[in-house]
Amino acid sequence: MTSLGRGASVALTDLEKSYDRVAAVAGVSLDIRSGEFLTLLGPSGSGKTTTLMMIAGFETPTAGDIAIDGTSVVGMPPYRRNIGMVFQNYALFPHLTVEENIGFPLKQRGMPKPERAKLVGEALELVHLPGYGGRYPRQLSGGQQQRVALARAIVFKPRLLLMDEPLGALDKQLRENLQLEMRRLHADLGITFIYVTHDQEEALTMSDRIAVMNDGLVAQVGSPEDLYDRPSSRFVAAFIGESNFLPATVRGMEDDVVVAECEGAIVRAICPGRPASGDRVLLTTRPERLRFTDGAWSSSAPQNRMNVTVTEAVFAGERCRYMLQAADGTAMVLKEPSSAAIRRRAVGERTEIAWSVADTILV
* Chain residues that interact with Mg ion, rule: CB under 5 A: 49
Does 21 sit near ligand ADP (CB under 6 A)? no
Does 78 sit near ligand ADP (CB under 6 A)? no
Q: Which is nearer to ligand ADP, 28 or 267 (CB)?
A: 28
Q: Which is nearer to ligand ADP, 189 or 211 (CB)?
A: 211
Residue in 5, 27, 45, 64 binding ligand ADP, rule: CB under 6 A: 45
Q: Which is nearer to ligand ADP, 22 or 276 (CB)?
A: 22
State the SS3 of the chain: CCCCCCCCCEEEEEEEEEECCEEEEEEEEEEECCCCEEEEECCCCCCHHHHHHHHHCCCCCCEEEEEECCEECCCCCHHHHCEEEECCCCCCCCCCCHHHHHHHHHHHCCCCHHHHHHHHHHHHHHCCCCCCCCCCHHHCCHHHHHHHHHHHHHCCCCCEEEEECCCCCCCHHHHHHHHHHHHHHHHHHCCEEEEEECCHHHHHHHCCEEEEEECCEEEEEECHHHHHHCCCCHHHHHHCCCCEEEEEEEEEEECCEEEEEECCEEEEEECCCCCCCCCEEEEEECHHHCEECCCCCCCCCCEEEEEEEEEEEEEECCEEEEEEEECCCCEEEEEEECCCCCCCCCCCCEEEEEEEHHHCEEC
24 binds, among ligand ADP, Mg ion, none (CB under 5 to 8 A by kind): ligand ADP
133 binds, among ligand ADP, Mg ion, none (CB under 5 to 8 A by kind): none
Does 295 sit near ligand ADP (CB under 6 A)? no
47 binds, among ligand ADP, Mg ion, none (CB under 5 to 8 A by kind): ligand ADP
Residue in 7, 42, 84, 224 binding ligand ADP, rule: CB under 6 A: 42
Does 50 sit near ligand ADP (CB under 6 A)? yes
The residue ranges that bind ligand ADP (CB under 6 A) are 19, 24, 42, 44-50
